[in-house]
Amino acid sequence: MHRYLTKRLLLSIPTIFGLTVLIFFTLRVLPGDVALTILGEDTQVDHQRLLEIRRELGLDQPIYVQYGQWMWSILRLDPGRSFGSDYPIAKRLAAAIPITFNLAVYALILTLIVAIPLGAVSAVHQDSWVDYASRAAALVGLSTPGFWVGIMVIMFLAFYVGWMPQLQLVSFFEDPWKNFTQLFWPALVIAIAQTAVITRMTRSTLLEVLREDYVRTARAKGLRERVVIVRHALKNAMLPVITLIGLEFAGLMNGAVITETVFAVPGLGSTLIQGINAKDFPLIQATVLFIGLIVVLVNLLVDLSYAWLDPRIKYR
């Protein structure tokens, strides 16, 4: 088991390294000059200003020096200051990360509460009206764009309940109920798309598990159907579903970026969009990197949890 854990931990290091390389070089490989983009295409190009911007962003240095400087700043947990506003990026990210984390946890809980029972019922009663209804609902959930669902929710709440997205978010530790009510609706919007995916996955893995021999044995032993499904089938079907949750966490982050913008939640997603609109490249780089790191971390935790969940791993 320890070998498995160490192997997984060590494997994540090249992934993280690769992530920094990918983000760094994507921005630099793209055609077009970053400094020109900042200046804007319509204005007369002021060469002095152009040179100043390039020096400020460090673009006049050789590329490996730029990369080294950036990596060093990341390792020190100080990605520098925003371009233009000089506000320390670390401070901004430190404020945004807990909010996005908060939102993501709510979204994940909402997703799992609905998706796993729905997928299980769908599988157990395959081809019944419940199955068709849930599959249709899942497809609708996948097809509707998240930002539009968010707009519809805001409109509905504004017209019928008089609720507006809050300006000042209350921390979970200050007032858990208020925090939940503030973040419930954005979390719900994110959860809709995720539920669609996880319901489908739960249904298909459970369908496979239900055809296994040990399920037939359990039934032959005379166990009640509910015990067969929950104690034997569902537990084994959960492993691929947990993998999917890990992989879908990336999708959760996608949903968070959009939904935070729709509901004006000041998390990592909003920060990224604001950075892009302000052409604040240091902020953009740092935010994208942290979002990527969070996803890698969650996938790592999922991998590590296998050691606990799947007894077969202990013998590898």
Partner 1 sequence: MSRPASTWWGPAGFARRQPVGAVALLILLGILLASLASPVLAPYDPFANDLSNKWAPPTAAHPMGTDQYGRDTYSRLLLGARYSLFLSFSATFLGVTIGAVIGLITAYSRGWFDILVLRIVDVKMAMPGLVFTLLIVAGLGPSLSGVIIALAVGMLARSIRVIRAAALATREMVYVDAARAIGCPDWRIMALHILPACIAPYIILISISIGGAIVAEASLGYLGLGVQPPTPTWGQILNRAQQTFRQNPWVAIFPGLAISLTVFAFNLLGDAIRDHLDPKLRGR
Buried residues in 106-136 as b, exposed as e (16+ CB within 10 A)? bbbebbbebbbebbbbbbbeeeeeebeebbe
Candidates 82, 195, 199, 299; binder of partner 1 (CB under 8 A) is: 299
Binding mask 150-189 for partner 1 (x = CB under 8 A): -xx-xx--xx------------------------------
Closest of 199, 206, 191 to residue 137, by C-alpha? 199
| Binding window for partner 1 (CB under 8 A); candidates: 62-70, 72-80, 165-173, 271-279 | 271-279
Map the footprint of partner 1 across residues 15-54, applying CB under 8 A: 15, 18-19, 21-23, 26-27, 30-32, 34, 37, 41
Q: What is the DSSP secondary-structure string of 34-45?
A: HHHHHH-SSS--
| Structure tokens belonging to residue 298 | 């969650």
Please report whether residue 257 would count as binding partner 1 according to CB under 8 A: yes
DSSP states of 134-147 as a string?
HHHHHHHHHHS-HH
Contacts of 205 (CB under 8 A, 6+ apart): 237, 240, 241
Look-up of token digits 């100043």? 52
- Identify which range of 54-62, 99-107, 217-225, 272-280 contacts partner 1 by CB under 8 A: 272-280
Q: Which of 145, 225, 305, 314 is the binder for partner 1 (CB under 8 A)? A: 145
Which range, of 52-60, 69-77, 117-125, 277-285, touches partner 1 by CB under 8 A? 277-285
Chain centre to alpha carbon of residue 94: 17
Say whether residue 227 binds partner 1 (CB under 8 A): no
Q: Could you identify the residue written with the tokens 């400087």?
A: 69
- The count of residues interacting with partner 1 (CB under 8 A) is 52
Site string for partner 1, 112-141 (x = CB under 8 A): ---------------------------xx-
Kindly state the smallest distance separating residue 30's Cβ from partner 1, in Å.
4
Residue with tokens 């239900």: 210
Read off the tokens for 40: 């804007």
Q: Is 312 exposed, middle or buried (0-12, 13-18, 19+ CB in 10 A)?
A: exposed
Q: Which of 43, 44, 168, 277 binds partner 1 (CB under 8 A)?
A: 277
User: Which residues are CB-neighbours of 249 under 8 A, at least 6 positions away?
Assistant: 104, 108, 294, 295, 298, 299
Q: What character string, x for contact with partner 1 (CB under 8 A) and - otherwise, covers 49-88?
A: ----------------------------------------
81: β partners: 88
Shortest Cβ 264–partner 1 spacing (Å)? 11
Using CA atoms, how far residue 218 sits from 204, 210, 211, 223, 241, in Å, is 20, 11, 12, 6, 22
Q: Considering only residues 279, 304, 307, 310, which one is a binding residue for partner 1 as defined by CB under 8 A?
A: 279
Residues lying near partner 1 in the complex (CB under 8 A): 14-15, 18-19, 21-23, 26-27, 30-32, 34, 37, 41, 139-140, 142-148, 151-152, 154-155, 158-159, 250-251, 253-254, 257-258, 261-262, 272-273, 275-277, 279, 281, 284, 288, 291-292, 295-296, 299
